[in-house]
Structure 1
Amino acid sequence: MAGGHREPYQAQTDLINKTFSAQEAPTLRVATFNMAASRVSSLTDIAQAIKALNADIVAIQEVDVLTGRSGKVDQAKKLAQLTGLNIEFGRAIDFDGGQYGLAIASKYPILKTEVTQLPSGNREQRIAFEAHVDVPGFDAPITVFNAHLDTKEDPAMRVDQVRKLNDTAIDTRGIKILMGDMNDVPYSATYQELTRYWNVITDETVDFRSWPASNPEIQVDYIMTGKAQKWQVEDITVPQVQTPYSDVNWPAVTDHLPIIVEMKMLEQ
């Protein structure tokens, strides 16, 4: 090959570089939320929690569709009914007579979705779930990647998974957001690999510890933005036990705390 992976056609985009003043900048509110397949609480409780997030887009991890352990309920479909949101499901594996994977919920139309299998060896198959969301005020659909990476203490597989995710995401032009349960802590090998292609939303004044929800010890859940954009973060919420949020008892709902970010896009 004379050239390689990054060919000129892959760089072509209708979304040209553009800056906005803080007054003109479009605003986006996003959240990542591991619902533990409703093994901690009911779908009604989870739906109320998702509505309390009041996010434009929510990346949801650990979703069952028609599995035996969840009573043969299509959790994605039921949550869409209970929340009034548009929700799409991405299958990671067949499990217990049904499917298990990720979901993306949105106040706005989800134009298309795609599942990318990540390297998983002989362990549970992991995926990146991609959705293109038509959010008002933005010049192009927002591409959201939702990921739930491997849990093994050795980070080697997670690093391979991030490399595959990055390899997929770099060929997607436009406005990009990555959210999910990365099953690793800040400044780990997994984290460092992610920061090659993504800007991690962080703030020294915010307690980002998200697991376990009842007494958080480590941060494993993240929201990140693509490096083509510049965002001004307006608000970050991680509803720790001592700072309740929207009257939801989060540890009674699931085992991860959500992370909620509201931000303005200053450069697209």
Structure 2
Amino acid sequence: MQRIYQRTMLLAVLVFSIAFISHAQKTTPVKNIQLKVMTFNTHHCNPPGDAQLIDVNGVANAIKRAAPDLVALQEIDVNVKRSGNIDEAAQIAARAGFKYYYFAKTLDLEGGQYGIAILSKFPLSGTATHQLPSIESLKGEPRVLATAVVHLPGGKKLTFASTHLDAYHKENRLLQIKEINQIAAGLNMPFIIGGDFNAHEQSEVIKTLDQQMTRTCENCPPTFDEGDASGAIDYVAYRPASKFKVLSQKVLNTVKASDHFPVMAVLQLHF
């Protein structure tokens, strides 16, 4: 009888210990999370030198090799005639190994939609497309900001965003970056954005961005090279500065899948 009682007590202690360890593992707060973030203007998967070629694999493989956790994509076609009526957002996500993605339409084009996208290794919620302002008389192409709440390990959350500012009108870009700053300032969680800002570092547009956010580079290397024109116009930025540390930043300038190069940053996020 005594032996049965001892065995019962030992089993109870063992079950309690396992339950306690499991609960501790689930509730232990995550203080630091390392994230690999990319922004990539894909030129609707059309590489330089061949106007007729649509190379989804080239874009997807470039992303897969870099192994980011979060990707901001620009110039994405969904069911557009020029790119073969395929859903580039879905195909890039699948081929690059991303379970979660969100496409934000900028405009209707050739029977389909053209816009920007977000890829994520982590679950997304609260996805939204924010229309960005422009001056009507300039007749600029519509522009948007795509945002999503990213659910990180340990129950932590951040907002990730993708954007592509007006390519031809500085006045529109200024309005658009001010609107993005305002949206980011109204959030109650860490914020990361990747995008093609169509503006160089010394421009008023990027100086306005820098008023509210911190970019992952200064004196940034070129993010596109078209022979007669080159420079840095694609960036990753974040806020608040106190929540992040930049571990590395680089431009993947050997990737030839687009007329832009992917920009890759590794961030450490402090909660």
TM-score of the alignment, normalized to the shorter chain, above 0.5: yes
Question: Mean Cα displacement is larger for which, 29-38 or 210-219?
Answer: 210-219
Please name the residue that 1:6 is paired with.
none
Name structure 2 gaps, 5 residues minimum.
1-29, 48-53
1:46-125 equivalences in 2 (<5 Å): 46-85=59-98, 86-120=100-134, 121=136, 122-125=139-142
Please name the residue that 2:156 is paired with.
140
How far off its partner does 1:53 sit? 1.9
Does structure 2 conserve the Cα–Cα contact (< 8 Å) formed by 1:175 and 1:228? no
Does structure 1 conserve the Cα–Cα contact (< 8 Å) formed by 2:165 and 2:196? yes
Fraction of identical pairs, as percent: 30
1:255 paired with 2:262, answer: no
Does structure 2 conserve the Cα–Cα contact (< 8 Å) formed by 1:209 and 1:216? no
Please name the residue that 1:182 is paired with.
197
Runs ≥4 in structure 1, deviation > 3 angstroms?
213-216
Q: CA RMSD in A?
A: 2.0
Does structure 1 conserve the Cα–Cα contact (< 8 Å) formed by 2:214 and 2:241? no
Please name the residue that 2:188 is paired with.
173
Deviations 1:235-264 (A, max 9, x none): 1121234xxxxxxxx12x111111111121
1:27 paired with 2:34, answer: yes
How far off its partner does 1:140 sit? 2.7
Does structure 1 conserve the Cα–Cα contact (< 8 Å) formed by 2:190 and 2:240? no
TM-score between the two structures when normalised by the length of structure 2: 0.80
- 2:175 equivalent among 160, 168, 175: 160
- Write 1 or 2 for the structure with the bigger share of helix: 2
How far off its partner does 1:68 sit? 0.6
Q: Which amino acid aligns with 1:107?
A: K
SS of residue matched to 2:183: helix
- How many corresponding residue pairs? 232
CA distance in 2, matches of 1:27, 1:213: 33
SS of residue matched to 2:147: strand
SS of residue matched to 2:90: helix
CA distance in 1, matches of 2:163, 2:55: 23
- Larger C-alpha radius of gyration, 1 or 2? 2
- 1:43 equivalent among 56, 70, 73: 56
Name structure 1 gaps, 5 residues minimum.
1-22, 242-249
Deviations 1:75-115 (A, max 9, x none): 11112221220221011111110000001001111123100
Change (3 A) 1:213 1:226: farther
SS of residue matched to 1:104: strand
Deviations 1:194-236 (A, max 9, x none): 11211111145xx521112778721000010112643221111
SS of residue matched to 1:187: coil
Change (3 A) 1:155 1:141: same
Change (3 A) 1:126 1:163: same
